[in-house]
Amino acid sequence: GESVGLHLPTLSVQEGDNSIINCAYSNSASDYFIWYKQESGKGPQFIIDIRSNMDKRQGQRVTVLLNKTVKHLSLQIAATQPGDSAVYFCAETPNTGGFKTIFGAGTRLFVKA
């Protein structure tokens, strides 16, 4: 469903560890998924995307996994750094209904030095 201003869950990790942020999406017609990173005082910015014909995509230190069977998306950040501290949003875009992108509720990642 659509985010309605829920209080953000927080994930706290030690610097250097790997982080995994999870997201459950709602629409089985969604075929395009994006992870965004929002730093304090800024708008969300694109990190990585994946289409529904894939189940894994890798970027620099980040990997997105897609499980269409259970409608689950995850973002893995390798060797987490203090600069990774931010709020992370998943987003889905269905291939119907005007292609409106729907954002998840977001997860706050806090990296401990």
78-82: which pairs have CB atoms within 8 A and are 24 or more residues apart? Answer: 78/18, 79/16, 79/17, 79/18, 80/13, 80/14, 80/15, 80/16, 80/17, 80/18, 80/19, 80/109, 80/111, 81/15, 81/111, 82/15, 82/111, 82/113
Binding mask 48-87 for other proteins (x = CB under 8 A): -x-------------------------------------x
Q: Which two tokens stand for residue 4?
A: 């309605």
Q: In the chain, what is the straight-line distance between the N-terminal and C-terminal CA atoms, in Å?
A: 35
**Span from 2-10, 16-24, 57-65, 66-74 in contact with other proteins (CB under 8 A):** 2-10
| Residue 49: CB minimum distance to other proteins, A | 7
| Residue 99: CB minimum distance to other proteins, A | 4
Of 8 and 11, the one with the shorter C-beta distance to other proteins is 8
- Contacting other proteins within 15-44 (CB under 8 A): 32, 34, 36, 42-44
Residues that bind other proteins (CB under 8 A): 2-8, 32, 34, 36, 42-46, 49, 87, 89, 91, 93-95, 98-106
